[in-house]
Amino acid sequence: MTAEVYRLRNVEQSYGARTVLRIDALDVQRGSIVGFVGPNGSGKSTLLRLLTFMEKPSSGDLFFEGLPAAQVSEAVRRRVSLLLQDPYLLKRTVFDNVAYGLKVRNDRADLSKRVGEALNWVGLSLDDFGRRPWYALSGGEAQRVALASRLILRPEVLALDEPTSSVDAASAALIREAAVRARNQWGTTLLIASHDWAWLEDVADGVAHLVEGRLAGVGITNVIPGPWEREGAEVCVMRLSDGQSIRVAPPPHSGALAVLDPRAVRIERRRPESAFGENFLEARLISLQFQRKSLEVVAGLDLAGFSLKACLPAAENDDSAFRPGRTVWIAFAPQAVRWV
């Protein structure tokens, strides 16, 4: 069995004349936790539907465990499960909802025990909730019941589409804990689309940033929105609302996205006397967030109305000048901007 559970090459998904997803290359390793972040409409949910066989790609190659998706049997597809942001529950009791998947598969051994265990994973007891009807659940309880109905099947791949976006804080914590426990205890591969960047950064093996249906990068990523204007044959310029401008090399084709690695961005306390060959811009420091995995500080910056991030070694933040609300100067080379 291959260590690579998914392999995507030149995958596109279109609805009519509108292309909503374009993934040049993406590999997912077995037992990994992969996060997908991006604004609404960036293609996260579409990608999860493709990876869980809810939809077929319009074009390109999608492999699951080394097989083309079209050749994956129904039995294999059952090992993959998707939890939607707004889950659908059967108009039955909690017990029947959680047990449904096993009953369909005619797997009824120790049914009550297994339902109880699945409910316990999400912080619900069989005695208190087993006979409760679907309509008597809060939003957070309904989401946890839906997750329990997936966990009872012990899926090889569990995809979660914004699992904590519309639930209370206690339910969100239990959902996060149960999902990660499935990976740690069973080796389940987790695919998580979420706006909860702090959680993904903490638990995920990699976080893919989607913008306009394209994979902009893995990890914290800056997408510079444009619009861009040509300034001669070798320079493109984005003019900011405050009169500043960003200069980069021209894109290889129209429609390309400008991506800037946050680690290529320096923060200075004052404007230099000269900044030949670099973009040097005034910005406002909005936030500082320590990343435990990388031992870095992520600085959130406001640059004439759009957000930018810089990743700094934690030691570099030991300066009273670098505090939210302060005006700072940022620098990056034109070559640090790549086009995707």
Q: Are residues 75 and 186 in the same domain?
A: yes
Q: How many C-beta neighbours within 10 Å does residue 276 have? A: 6
Q: Are residues 304 and 165 in the same domain?
A: no
- CA-CA distances (angstroms) from residue 160 to 8, 15, 40? 19, 23, 16
Domain hosting 234: range is 223-339
The position carrying tokens 């009550």 is 112
Q: What is the pLDDT of residues 301-312, one digit of tens each?
A: 999 888 999 998
Please name the residue ranges forming H helices in the chain.
Answer: 44-51, 74-77, 94-104, 111-121, 126-129, 139-151, 169-186, 197-203
First to last CA, the chain: 33
Q: Are residues 38 and 183 in the same domain?
A: yes
Q: Are residues 197 and 266 in the same domain?
A: no
Task: Please give the helix or strand (H or E) that residue 19 lies within, else none.
Answer: strand 18-29
219: left (phi over 0), alpha (psi -120 to 50) or beta: left
Show which of 163, 191, 216 is a domain's final residue: 216
Task: Please give the helix or strand (H or E) that residue 14 lies within, else none.
Answer: strand 4-15
pLDDT value at residue 283: 96
Count of domains observed in the chain:
2
> Where residue 288 sits, what CATH number does that domain have?
2.40.50.100
pLDDT value at residue 165: 87
Q: Are residues 242 and 203 in the same domain?
A: no
> Where residue 88 sits, what CATH number does that domain have?
3.40.50.300
pLDDT value at residue 47: 98
DSSP string, 202-256: HH-SEEEEEETTEEEEESS-EEE----EE-SSS-EEEE-TTS-EEEEPPPSSTTP
Show which of 216, 233, 267 is a domain's final residue: 216
Q: Are residues 68 and 184 in the same domain?
A: yes
Q: Are residues 179 and 266 in the same domain?
A: no
Residue 66 and residue 4 in contact, taking contact as beta carbons nearer than 8 Å: yes
pLDDT value at residue 199: 83
Q: Are residues 189 and 240 in the same domain?
A: no
Q: How many C-beta neighbours within 10 Å does residue 190 have? A: 22
Question: Which residues of the chain have a pLDDT value below 70?
Answer: 1-2, 273-275, 315-321
Show which of 193, 216, 239 is a domain's final residue: 216
Q: Are residues 308 and 252 in the same domain?
A: yes
Q: Are residues 254 and 117 in the same domain?
A: no
Residues in a beta bridge with 206: 34
pLDDT value at residue 102: 96
Q: Are residues 26 and 85 in the same domain?
A: yes
pLDDT value at residue 138: 95
Q: What is the pLDDT of residues 144-190, one digit of tens each?
A: 999 999 999 999 999 999 999 889 999 999 999 999 999 999 999 99
The pTM of the whole model exceeds 0.95: no
Q: Are residues 137 and 101 in the same domain?
A: yes
